[in-house]
Amino acid sequence: MASILNYFIFSFYMLSSLCIWRLMTNNEKTPYLQSLIWFLWIIAIFAHLYDLSFILSEQYSVDLSIYHALSVVALIISITLYISSIFGNTLFLGLIVLPIISMVFIFDFANKPVNVPLNNVVFIHVIISLISYSILCLSAAQSLILKIQEKKLQSNNPIGIIASLPSLDLMDKLLFKILALGVLFLSASLLSGFIFLEDIFAQHLAHKTILSILAWIIFVFLIFARKSYGWRGSKAANITLIGFFILFLSYFGTKTVLEIIL
C-alpha cells in the first residue's frame, strides 16, 4: 500500500506535468509558470531520492527488486529530463514522462528483495543497464509525441500543444540523438554483462540476454537505416517503440516472472 511519502511524490510529479501542459497551451510564456515547474519538479526529485535511500542496507548492498528498480529508472529519467529541459528544448517530454513516473508511487507493492552488493562488479553492470533503459524510455516518449505531431500536421490541425512543439525536423533529430545515447549505454550494458557475469546465458538470464540483444539489433539497424535510407518520422518512431517494448520485457518482464509470479 502506498505511503504518505508516495502520495506526496505522486502529487508533485503530476502538478509539474499539469504546469507544463498549462505553459505549452498558453500563448504567452509567463516566467513565473516556468519557475513554478522547476520548483515543483525539484521537490519531487528530492523526495524521490529520499524514498530511494531506504533501499540501501548496512551490509553495503542495495535492494534492486522490481519495484525499486522501476523507481531507480524513474529517478534517472526524471533527473535527466530535468537537466536537459533547462539546457535544451525537451520540457514537452514531461507531459508523457512525469505522469508515468508518478504512477510508480501509486502502484507500490511488496516483492522478494534482490540485494546487489555495492562492492561487486555486477553492480556496475546493473547501473549501466538501468541508465540505458532510462534513456531509451525517453526515446520511446519522444517517439509517441513525434507520431502524434506528424499525424496532426498531416491533417492540417496543429493546434494547442502541437503548435508549441519544435519543428518536425528538430523533433526527428532529437529522437535519434536520444536513441544514439541509449544505444551507447545499452552496448556498454551488454559488454559489461559478458565481462562481469559468469554465464550471461544461464537459465535465469537467458531470456533477458536474448531479448536485450534483439532490442540492440533493432536500434542499431534503425540508426543505420536513418543514415543510409533516410528513415524518419512515424516509421522510425514505430521501430523505436518496438525495440523499447522488447527491451522492457527483457528486464522488467523477466524480473516480474522471477520475483512475483514464480
* pLDDT by 10s per residue, the chain, length 262: 458 899 999 999 999 999 999 988 886 667 889 999 999 999 999 999 999 988 876 667 787 888 888 999 999 999 999 999 999 889 999 999 999 999 999 876 666 667 777 777 788 888 899 999 999 999 999 999 999 888 888 777 666 777 788 888 999 999 999 999 999 999 999 998 888 776 555 556 677 888 999 999 999 999 999 999 988 889 999 999 999 999 988 887 766 665 555 5
Instruction: Report helix angle 94-103 to 31-52, nearest 10.
Output: 30
Grid coordinates in use for 153?
500536421
The CA-atom distances, in angstroms, between 191 and each of 23, 170, 216 are 42, 32, 12
Q: What is the reported pLDDT for 220?
A: 96
Q: What are the boundaries of each domain within the chain?
A: 135-262
Instruction: Report helix angle 4-25 to 94-103, nearest 10.
Output: 170
Grid coordinates in use for 58?
548496512
- HSE-up (13 A, CA, CB side) for residue 156: 0
Q: What is the reported pLDDT for 1?
A: 45
Phi first, then psi: give them for residue 29, nearest 5 degrees. -80, 100
**pTM for the structure as a whole:** 0.90
CA distance 132 to 76: 10
Phi first, then psi: give them for residue 231, nearest 5 degrees. -60, 135
Grid coordinates in use for 235?
516509421
| CB-CB contact of 211 with 217 (8 Å) | no
- Which ranges of 26-167 would DSSP assign to H, the alpha helix? 31-52, 66-87, 94-103, 121-154, 161-164
- HSE-up (13 A, CA, CB side) for residue 219: 33
CA distance 48 to 53: 9
DSSP 195-242: HHSS-TTSTTTHHHHHHHHHHHHHHHHHHHHHHHH---HHHHHHHHHH
Q: What is the reported pLDDT for 202?
A: 57
